[in-house]
Amino acid sequence: MRRCKWVAAVLAFAPLVAGPSADYLSARHKFHLIQSDTLRPGTKVLLSAGELNAWVAGEIPQVAPQGVRNPRLELAHSAATGSALVDFVKLRQAQGKPPNWFLRKLLEGERPVEVRARIQSQSGTATVFVERVEISGIPIEGRALDFLIRKYLAAYYPEAKVGEPFALKHRIDRLEVAPAAVGVIIGR
Express each pLDDT in 39-94 by its tens digit: 999 999 999 999 999 999 999 888 777 889 999 999 999 999 999 999 988 887 87
CA distance 141 to 176: 25
Domain ranges of the chain: 22-60+69-84+112-186
Element (H, E) at 104: helix 101-107
Mean pLDDT of 163-167: 95
CATH architecture of 22-60+69-84+112-186: Super Roll (3.15)
Cβ atoms of 167 and 125 within 8 Å: the answer is yes
Model-level pTM? 0.82
130-141 confidence digits (pLDDT tens): 999 999 999 999
Q: How far is CA 66 from CA 62, 94, 115, 159, 186, in A?
A: 9, 6, 19, 21, 35
With a CB cutoff of 8 Å and minimum separation 6, the contacts of 92 are 67, 98, 99
- Measured between its terminal Cα atoms, the distance across the chain in Å is 65
**Average model confidence (pLDDT) for the chain?**
88
